[in-house]
Chains A and B, each alone.
Chain A
Amino acid sequence: MIQCKGVHKWFKDLHVLNDINLQVTKGEVLVVCGPSGSGKSTLIRTINKLEPINEGTIIVDGMDLADRKTDINKLRAEVGFVFQQFNLYPHLSVMNNITLAPRKIRKTPRREAEEQAMQLLARVGLAEKHAAYPSQLSGGQQQRVAIARALAMNPRIMLFDEPTSALDPEMIGEVLSVMQDLARSGMTMMVVTHEMGFAREVANRVIFMDAGTILEEAPPAQFFRTPQHDRARQFLNQLLTPMHGASTTAAA
């Protein structure tokens, strides 16, 4: 479903993505982790062309992002994106946040879109919040609405960029459990996260990035038990310090 070949990207002189090769097949969950500034956000944002690349090929759901014939808006409609900061539309109610894209892009009739939104809200445990505005919700609730909003387009792929790192620890679990359900339902997912509990439970493979390159790629069990590189070992040790301990266990 996602294929990156020889992807390079520079911000001015900074080589943010250095020869990235990866593949995510249908129904697979890929977790991307790595230290701050290693290029994780940049990488996941290239998958729906929020960031253009300088070199290489990215093919998503059979469409080549560099191909002029690829309708990028159509592709983005098939790929859900969940942001670290939720980015709900503050001027719209929860209901309208979810139904806007289906109604305007897919031309779904309002009633049908609203019925589907209610089902999605029930699925993320927020059915009673359909009339609320984003500013009236907690961070965890906003992020669950953001997931419902992405799902409303019936995407074939879901991308998550650190969906829980802006959340208070007690809210991380509710978001992770929604994502876990989603993975169980067979969704193809690429998730940038430091929630190692989630990675262990849900991921098919883990990618460890450092300074713009993929240093390691392995099934979670192997990655956590026997990391190959010092950088990865250091990174994992840091995550296990008490400061991060609370959040890494939240997925259990």
Chain B
Amino acid sequence: MLSYHFDWSIILSGTYFDWLVSGLKVTLWLSASGILLSFLLGLCVAVMRMSHIAPVRWVAQLFLEVTRNTPLLVQIFFWYFGSYKLLPTDLNDWLNNHNFEFVAALAALTIYTSAFIAEDIRSGVLSIPKEQLEAARSAGFSYLRSMQYIILPQAVRITIPPLVNQFLNLAKNSSLAMTIGVMELTYQARQVESYTFKGFEAFTAATVVYLALSVVITFLVDQYNNRVLKLHKAS
């Protein structure tokens, strides 16, 4: 090991740098769309989980049990290797021509993360006084509209710290997408390593980028949160 020559220049410019950048782009796309979609899906599942219609509640509960209690890697493989058996041929053809690995990874990450987000949001909703729902209902809002305009906006605000955690998990978990050939950051770092044998440099670079990504996500959510909180002061 003492004879190992550090060579940072090789990954900081030229082809290998370009590989890492293209990997970063995919990671960013995967994380950003995953965060957005898992948040929306998480909201839906949270509302279904609290529905007064029992079968809707059961569906949500089944979804939560299955997604939270199976490894993410298995879910990624399921969507990649298993899902096309369920989908219509036309859709399969379309997907195969449109980066199916990416879609499968995004589906798995979204679904997996949404389960955790749903539970966080649900505990947020439970901490909103029931009088808020009564006020909304007595104004003539339906249950779902009350959720949309009055309960969820308040619940999400107090749920922000755990949500940030889920978003960070999603960004980090996106590295598992390499197992099905999504050319994201970890995949590209691996490529660089196998072409150059500069594994230390390649994965250090990847580490730094993931770290930076986490810092950026935390910062963005904090900014949003501060803006909102400033608007709505106290309470």
Instruction: Return B155 CB to nearest CB of chain A, in Å.
Output: 10
Q: Is A225 an interface residue (CB 8 A)?
A: no
Asked if A87 CB lies within 8 Å of chain B CBs, one says yes
Would A83 and B135 be within 8 Å (CB), given that A90-B232, A100-B149, A105-B140 are in contact? yes
- Mask, A104-142, CB within 8 Å of B = 1, is 110000000000000000000000000001111000000
A89 touches B132 (CB 8 A): yes
Q: How many A-B residue pairs have CB under 8 A?
A: 71
9-residue interface stretch from A23-31, A71-79, A178-186, A196-204? A71-79
Interface residues of A in 47-87 (CB under 8 A from B): 48, 50, 73-79, 81, 83, 85, 87
CA distance A74 to B138 in the complex (A): 10
A83 touches B140 (CB 8 A): no
Complex: chain B residue closest to A78, CB-CB = B140
Residues of A within 8 A of B142 (CB): 73
Shortest CB–CB separation between residue B232 and chain A, in angstroms? Answer: 5
**A83-B134 contact, Cβ under 8 Å, with A89-B150, A91-B154, A91-B232:** yes
DSSP class of B's interface residues: helix, strand, loop or mixed? helix
B161: shortest Cβ distance to chain A, in Å?
A: 17
Query: In the complex, which residues of chain B have a beta carbon less than 8 angstroms from the beta carbon of A149?
Result: 139
Interchain CB contact under 8 A, A135 and B138: no
Per-position binary interface string of chain B over residues 74-105, scored 1 when its CB falls under 8 Å from any chain A CB and 0 otherwise: 00000000000000000000000000000000
Residues 136-151 of B contacting A (Cβ, < 8 Å): 136-142, 145, 149-150
- Asked if A104 and B138 make an inter-chain contact with CB atoms under 8 angstroms apart, the answer reads no
Closest Cβ of chain B to A77, distance in Å, is 3
- Is the CB of B235 closer than 8 A to any CB of chain A? yes
Nearest chain A CB to B226's CB is how many angstroms away? 15
Contact B157 A91 (CB under 8 A): yes
Q: How large is the interface on B (under 10, 10 to 19, 20 to 34, 35 or more residues)?
A: 20 to 34
B234 at the interface (CB under 8 A from A): yes
* A87 CA to B132 CA, complexed, in Å: 6
Count residues of chain A with CB under 8 A from any CB of chain B.
29
Asked if B162 is an interface residue, CB under 8 A from chain A, the answer is: no
Closest CB in chain B relative to A92 CB, distance in Å: 8
- Decide yes or no whether A1 CB sits under 8 A from chain B: no
Once the chains bind, are A87 and B140 in contact (CB under 8 Å)?
no
Besides A73-B142, A104-B141, 19 other A-B contacts (C-beta < 8 A): A73-B140, A76-B140, A77-B139, A81-B138, A83-B134, A83-B135, A85-B131, A87-B131, A88-B135, A89-B154, A91-B235, A100-B139, A100-B149, A101-B140, A104-B149, A105-B140, A133-B233, A133-B235, A153-B140
16 contacts between A and B (CB under 8 A): A50-B134, A76-B138, A76-B140, A78-B140, A81-B138, A87-B131, A87-B132, A89-B136, A90-B154, A90-B235, A91-B154, A101-B139, A101-B140, A133-B232, A133-B233, A136-B233
- Interface set of A (CB-CB < 8 Å, partner B): 48, 50, 73-79, 81, 83, 85, 87-92, 100-101, 104-105, 133-136, 149-150, 153
B interface list, Cβ under 8 A from A: 131-132, 134-142, 145, 149-150, 153-154, 157, 231-235
